[in-house]
Amino acid sequence: MPVTSTQHDLDALTLTITADFAAPPERVWAIYEDPRQLERVWGPPGYPATFVDHALEPGSRSTYYMTSPEGQRFYAYWDVTSVAGPDGFTFDDGFALDETFAPNTSMPQSHADYAFVATDDGTHATFVTSYASADDLQQVLDMGVVEGSTAAINQIDDLLAADAA
Amino acid sequence: MIEDAEDRADAWFHALADRTRRDILRRVLSGEHSVSTLAQSYDMSFAAVQKHVAVLERAGLLTKRRQGREALASGDVEAVRSVGVMLTELEDLWRGRISRMDELLALDPADHRPEED
Protein backbone atom coordinates (compact mmCIF):
# COMPACT_ATOMS: atom_id res chain seq x y z
CA MET A 1 0.00 0.00 0.00
CA PRO A 2 1.44 3.39 -0.93
CA VAL A 3 -0.42 5.14 1.96
CA THR A 4 2.20 6.15 4.53
CA SER A 5 0.10 7.96 7.16
CA THR A 6 -3.42 9.07 7.98
CA GLN A 7 -4.35 11.73 10.49
CA HIS A 8 -7.79 12.67 11.76
CA ASP A 9 -7.96 16.15 13.28
CA LEU A 10 -11.17 16.16 15.31
CA ASP A 11 -10.99 19.89 16.01
CA ALA A 12 -10.23 21.11 12.51
CA LEU A 13 -12.39 18.36 10.92
CA THR A 14 -9.52 17.56 8.63
CA LEU A 15 -8.33 14.31 7.14
CA THR A 16 -4.66 14.32 6.11
CA ILE A 17 -3.37 11.36 4.13
CA THR A 18 0.17 10.96 2.85
CA ALA A 19 1.22 8.49 0.17
CA ASP A 20 4.36 7.62 -1.80
CA PHE A 21 4.06 6.95 -5.51
CA ALA A 22 6.68 5.30 -7.73
CA ALA A 23 6.50 8.10 -10.30
CA PRO A 24 7.80 11.68 -10.44
CA PRO A 25 5.52 14.60 -9.36
CA GLU A 26 5.01 15.55 -13.02
CA ARG A 27 3.43 12.13 -13.64
CA VAL A 28 1.19 12.30 -10.53
CA TRP A 29 0.21 15.84 -11.51
CA ALA A 30 -0.76 14.55 -14.96
CA ILE A 31 -3.42 12.31 -13.40
CA TYR A 32 -5.11 15.43 -12.00
CA GLU A 33 -4.57 17.49 -15.15
CA ASP A 34 -6.10 14.92 -17.52
CA PRO A 35 -9.86 14.44 -16.93
CA ARG A 36 -9.74 10.97 -18.54
CA GLN A 37 -7.15 9.80 -15.98
CA LEU A 38 -8.76 11.68 -13.10
CA GLU A 39 -12.12 10.01 -13.60
CA ARG A 40 -10.43 6.61 -13.34
CA VAL A 41 -9.31 7.33 -9.78
CA TRP A 42 -11.81 9.83 -8.32
CA GLY A 43 -15.06 7.89 -7.90
CA PRO A 44 -15.32 4.99 -5.44
CA PRO A 45 -15.97 1.47 -6.82
CA GLY A 46 -19.48 1.30 -8.28
CA TYR A 47 -19.67 5.11 -8.58
CA PRO A 48 -17.56 6.01 -11.65
CA ALA A 49 -16.88 9.72 -12.14
CA THR A 50 -17.32 11.50 -15.47
CA PHE A 51 -15.65 14.91 -15.81
CA VAL A 52 -17.48 17.21 -18.22
CA ASP A 53 -15.32 20.35 -17.96
CA HIS A 54 -11.92 20.33 -16.33
CA ALA A 55 -8.92 22.66 -16.31
CA LEU A 56 -6.40 23.03 -13.52
CA GLU A 57 -6.30 26.83 -13.60
CA PRO A 58 -7.00 29.26 -10.75
CA GLY A 59 -10.62 30.41 -10.89
CA SER A 60 -11.65 27.54 -13.15
CA ARG A 61 -14.71 25.42 -12.35
CA SER A 62 -14.55 21.71 -13.11
CA THR A 63 -17.84 19.86 -13.45
CA TYR A 64 -18.34 16.15 -12.96
CA TYR A 65 -20.91 13.57 -11.99
CA MET A 66 -20.72 10.19 -10.30
CA THR A 67 -23.10 7.46 -11.44
CA SER A 68 -24.50 5.09 -8.80
CA PRO A 69 -24.98 1.36 -9.47
CA GLU A 70 -28.71 2.17 -9.92
CA GLY A 71 -27.87 4.75 -12.59
CA GLN A 72 -28.51 7.78 -10.35
CA ARG A 73 -26.20 10.71 -11.12
CA PHE A 74 -24.66 12.86 -8.39
CA TYR A 75 -23.62 16.19 -9.93
CA ALA A 76 -20.68 18.02 -8.41
CA TYR A 77 -18.03 20.62 -9.12
CA TRP A 78 -14.55 21.78 -8.19
CA ASP A 79 -13.71 25.45 -7.84
CA VAL A 80 -9.95 25.53 -8.41
CA THR A 81 -8.52 28.17 -6.07
CA SER A 82 -4.74 27.94 -6.58
CA VAL A 83 -2.42 26.01 -8.88
CA ALA A 84 1.33 25.40 -8.62
CA GLY A 85 1.92 22.53 -11.04
CA PRO A 86 3.44 20.05 -10.57
CA ASP A 87 3.87 20.86 -6.85
CA GLY A 88 0.17 20.90 -6.03
CA PHE A 89 -3.13 22.74 -6.13
CA THR A 90 -6.09 23.68 -3.94
CA PHE A 91 -9.82 23.62 -4.66
CA ASP A 92 -13.28 23.63 -3.12
CA ASP A 93 -15.34 20.50 -3.82
CA GLY A 94 -19.13 20.90 -3.74
CA PHE A 95 -22.38 19.33 -4.87
CA ALA A 96 -24.44 20.68 -7.77
CA LEU A 97 -28.23 20.71 -8.10
CA ASP A 98 -28.52 18.92 -11.45
CA GLU A 99 -27.00 18.63 -14.94
CA THR A 100 -26.77 22.43 -15.13
CA PHE A 101 -24.04 22.12 -12.44
CA ALA A 102 -25.50 25.07 -10.50
CA PRO A 103 -24.00 24.77 -6.99
CA ASN A 104 -26.33 23.28 -4.39
CA THR A 105 -25.90 25.89 -1.67
CA SER A 106 -27.74 23.75 0.88
CA MET A 107 -24.95 21.16 0.66
CA PRO A 108 -21.53 21.75 2.24
CA GLN A 109 -18.30 22.31 0.35
CA SER A 110 -15.10 20.66 1.40
CA HIS A 111 -11.72 22.28 0.94
CA ALA A 112 -8.85 20.30 -0.59
CA ASP A 113 -5.12 20.99 -0.57
CA TYR A 114 -2.92 18.53 -2.49
CA ALA A 115 0.88 18.72 -2.53
CA PHE A 116 3.42 16.62 -4.47
CA VAL A 117 7.12 16.58 -3.52
CA ALA A 118 9.87 14.77 -5.45
CA THR A 119 11.73 12.02 -3.56
CA ASP A 120 14.53 9.63 -4.58
CA ASP A 121 11.91 7.00 -5.39
CA GLY A 122 9.22 9.17 -6.93
CA THR A 123 6.65 11.38 -5.22
CA HIS A 124 5.57 12.04 -1.65
CA ALA A 125 1.95 13.23 -1.87
CA THR A 126 -0.07 14.93 0.88
CA PHE A 127 -3.85 15.10 0.51
CA VAL A 128 -5.68 17.34 2.96
CA THR A 129 -9.49 17.43 3.00
CA SER A 130 -11.31 19.67 5.46
CA TYR A 131 -14.89 20.48 6.36
CA ALA A 132 -16.31 23.53 8.09
CA SER A 133 -18.28 21.50 10.64
CA ALA A 134 -18.92 17.92 11.72
CA ASP A 135 -22.44 18.31 10.36
CA ASP A 136 -21.02 19.18 6.92
CA LEU A 137 -18.95 16.01 6.92
CA GLN A 138 -21.99 13.99 8.01
CA GLN A 139 -24.11 15.49 5.20
CA VAL A 140 -21.53 14.61 2.56
CA LEU A 141 -21.21 11.04 3.80
CA ASP A 142 -25.01 10.76 4.00
CA MET A 143 -25.17 11.39 0.25
CA GLY A 144 -24.20 7.76 -0.05
CA VAL A 145 -21.46 8.54 -2.53
CA VAL A 146 -18.88 7.10 -0.19
CA GLU A 147 -18.60 3.34 -0.03
CA GLY A 148 -20.86 2.26 2.81
CA SER A 149 -18.24 1.01 5.19
CA THR A 150 -19.54 0.00 8.58
CA ALA A 151 -16.76 0.67 11.03
CA ALA A 152 -16.33 -2.09 13.55
CA ILE A 153 -16.84 -1.21 17.16
CA ASN A 154 -13.14 -1.67 17.90
CA GLN A 155 -12.32 1.22 15.55
CA ILE A 156 -14.00 3.49 18.07
CA ASP A 157 -11.31 2.57 20.52
CA ASP A 158 -8.65 3.62 18.03
CA LEU A 159 -10.44 6.92 17.48
CA LEU A 160 -10.80 7.61 21.17
CA ALA A 161 -7.22 6.60 21.86
CA ALA A 162 -5.85 8.93 19.18
CA ASP A 163 -4.16 11.99 20.59
CA ALA A 164 -6.14 15.11 20.02
CA ALA A 165 -4.30 17.52 17.76
CA MET B 1 -30.57 18.31 25.49
CA ILE B 2 -29.07 19.65 22.28
CA GLU B 3 -31.67 19.88 19.53
CA ASP B 4 -29.72 21.26 16.59
CA ALA B 5 -27.80 18.60 14.65
CA GLU B 6 -24.87 20.87 13.88
CA ASP B 7 -24.47 21.94 17.51
CA ARG B 8 -24.64 18.30 18.49
CA ALA B 9 -21.93 17.30 16.05
CA ASP B 10 -19.72 20.18 17.21
CA ALA B 11 -20.28 19.06 20.80
CA TRP B 12 -19.16 15.51 19.90
CA PHE B 13 -15.89 16.67 18.42
CA HIS B 14 -15.28 19.07 21.30
CA ALA B 15 -16.01 16.32 23.82
CA LEU B 16 -13.64 13.86 22.12
CA ALA B 17 -10.81 16.39 21.86
CA ASP B 18 -9.93 15.89 25.56
CA ARG B 19 -7.82 12.92 26.71
CA THR B 20 -9.56 12.49 30.09
CA ARG B 21 -12.98 12.57 28.47
CA ARG B 22 -11.92 9.94 25.92
CA ASP B 23 -10.73 7.79 28.80
CA ILE B 24 -14.00 8.25 30.73
CA LEU B 25 -15.92 7.37 27.56
CA ARG B 26 -13.87 4.20 27.04
CA ARG B 27 -14.74 3.09 30.58
CA VAL B 28 -18.45 3.82 30.37
CA LEU B 29 -18.75 2.23 26.92
CA SER B 30 -17.67 -1.05 28.50
CA GLY B 31 -20.33 -0.76 31.22
CA GLU B 32 -22.10 1.45 33.73
CA HIS B 33 -19.86 3.29 36.21
CA SER B 34 -20.78 5.57 39.09
CA VAL B 35 -19.32 9.06 38.80
CA SER B 36 -17.61 8.68 42.18
CA THR B 37 -15.88 5.46 41.04
CA LEU B 38 -14.74 7.23 37.85
CA ALA B 39 -13.41 10.13 39.92
CA GLN B 40 -11.10 7.79 41.86
CA SER B 41 -9.35 6.84 38.60
CA TYR B 42 -8.09 10.34 37.89
CA ASP B 43 -5.67 12.69 39.56
CA MET B 44 -8.21 15.50 39.73
CA SER B 45 -11.08 16.64 41.90
CA PHE B 46 -14.50 14.97 41.94
CA ALA B 47 -15.94 18.27 40.64
CA ALA B 48 -13.54 18.27 37.68
CA VAL B 49 -14.51 14.71 36.72
CA GLN B 50 -18.18 15.67 37.13
CA LYS B 51 -17.61 18.50 34.65
CA HIS B 52 -16.04 16.11 32.13
CA VAL B 53 -19.00 13.76 32.53
CA ALA B 54 -21.37 16.69 31.98
CA VAL B 55 -19.60 17.64 28.72
CA LEU B 56 -19.94 14.05 27.47
CA GLU B 57 -23.58 13.99 28.57
CA ARG B 58 -24.39 17.26 26.79
CA ALA B 59 -22.75 15.88 23.64
CA GLY B 60 -25.07 12.86 23.84
CA LEU B 61 -22.13 10.46 24.20
CA LEU B 62 -23.14 9.17 27.63
CA THR B 63 -26.33 8.98 29.66
CA LYS B 64 -26.70 9.34 33.42
CA ARG B 65 -29.29 7.88 35.76
CA ARG B 66 -29.68 8.23 39.49
CA GLN B 67 -29.74 5.25 41.82
CA GLY B 68 -30.25 6.43 45.37
CA ARG B 69 -27.37 8.81 46.08
CA GLU B 70 -25.29 7.57 43.17
CA ALA B 71 -25.09 9.01 39.65
CA LEU B 72 -24.48 6.15 37.21
CA ALA B 73 -23.02 6.87 33.78
CA SER B 74 -23.03 4.65 30.70
CA GLY B 75 -21.75 5.29 27.19
CA ASP B 76 -24.06 5.68 24.22
CA VAL B 77 -22.45 3.20 21.82
CA GLU B 78 -24.55 4.33 18.83
CA ALA B 79 -23.59 7.98 19.21
CA VAL B 80 -19.90 7.17 19.46
CA ARG B 81 -20.09 4.92 16.45
CA SER B 82 -21.37 7.76 14.28
CA VAL B 83 -18.31 9.90 15.05
CA GLY B 84 -16.00 6.99 14.29
CA VAL B 85 -17.78 6.07 11.10
CA MET B 86 -17.55 9.57 9.66
CA LEU B 87 -13.79 9.93 9.64
CA THR B 88 -13.23 6.27 8.87
CA GLU B 89 -15.50 6.39 5.81
CA LEU B 90 -13.67 9.42 4.49
CA GLU B 91 -10.36 7.66 5.05
CA ASP B 92 -11.62 4.53 3.25
CA LEU B 93 -12.60 6.62 0.23
CA TRP B 94 -9.08 8.05 0.11
CA ARG B 95 -7.36 4.70 0.53
CA GLY B 96 -9.34 3.54 -2.50
CA ARG B 97 -8.37 6.62 -4.52
CA ILE B 98 -4.69 6.23 -3.70
CA SER B 99 -4.59 2.55 -4.61
CA ARG B 100 -6.35 3.34 -7.93
CA MET B 101 -3.71 6.03 -8.61
CA ASP B 102 -1.01 3.49 -7.84
CA GLU B 103 -2.56 1.01 -10.28
CA LEU B 104 -2.86 3.67 -12.97
CA LEU B 105 0.81 4.66 -12.57
CA ALA B 106 1.84 1.01 -12.76
CA LEU B 107 0.30 0.81 -16.25
CA ASP B 108 2.82 3.33 -17.58
CA PRO B 109 5.36 2.04 -20.11
CA ALA B 110 8.63 1.14 -18.38
CA ASP B 111 10.52 4.11 -19.90
CA HIS B 112 8.21 6.51 -18.03
CA ARG B 113 9.01 4.95 -14.68
CA PRO B 114 11.96 5.81 -12.44
CA GLU B 115 15.10 3.76 -13.13
CA GLU B 116 15.33 0.52 -11.15
CA ASP B 117 18.64 0.24 -9.34
- Amino acid identity for residue A101 in this structure: F
Q: Does A3 touch chain B (CB under 8 A)?
A: yes
Q: Does A77 touch chain B (CB under 8 A)?
A: no
Of A15, A24, A134, the CB nearest to B114: A24
Taking the C-alpha atoms of residue A60 and residue A165, their distance in angstroms, rounded to an integer, is 33
Q: What is the pLDDT of residue B25?
A: 87
- Amino acid identity for residue A147 in this structure: E
Is the model more confident about A33 or about B13? A33
Question: Could A28 and B105 be called an inter-chain contact, meaning their C-beta atoms sit closer than 8 Å?
Answer: yes
Question: Could B98 and A161 be called an inter-chain contact, meaning their C-beta atoms sit closer than 8 Å?
Answer: no
Rounded to a whole number, what is the distance in Å from the CA of B68 to chain A's nearest CA? 31
- Residue B110 burial by Cβ neighbours in a 10 Å radius (0-12, 13-18, 19+): exposed
Contact list, A164 vs chain B (CB under 8 Å): 16-19, 22
Rounded to a whole number, what is the distance in Å from the CA of A103 to chain B's nearest CA? 21
How far from each other are the two terminal CA atoms of chain B, in whole angstroms? 63
Q: Tell me the pLDDT tens digit for each residue of B63-102.
A: 999 999 999 998 876 666 555 566 677 788 888 899 999 9
Q: Does B99 touch chain A (CB under 8 A)?
A: yes
Taking the C-alpha atoms of residue A161 and residue A115, their distance in angstroms, rounded to an integer, is 28
Question: Could A137 and B86 be called an inter-chain contact, meaning their C-beta atoms sit closer than 8 Å?
Answer: yes
Whole-structure pTM over 0.85, yes or no?
A: no
Q: Tell me the pLDDT tens digit for each residue of A91-111.
A: 999 999 999 999 999 888 999
Q: What is the pLDDT of residue A8?
A: 75
Q: Tell me the pLDDT tens digit for each residue of A30-79.
A: 999 999 999 999 988 778 899 999 999 999 999 999 998 888 899 999 99
Least confident among A47-61, A141-155, B42-56, B68-82: A141-155
CB A86 within 8 A of CB A115: no
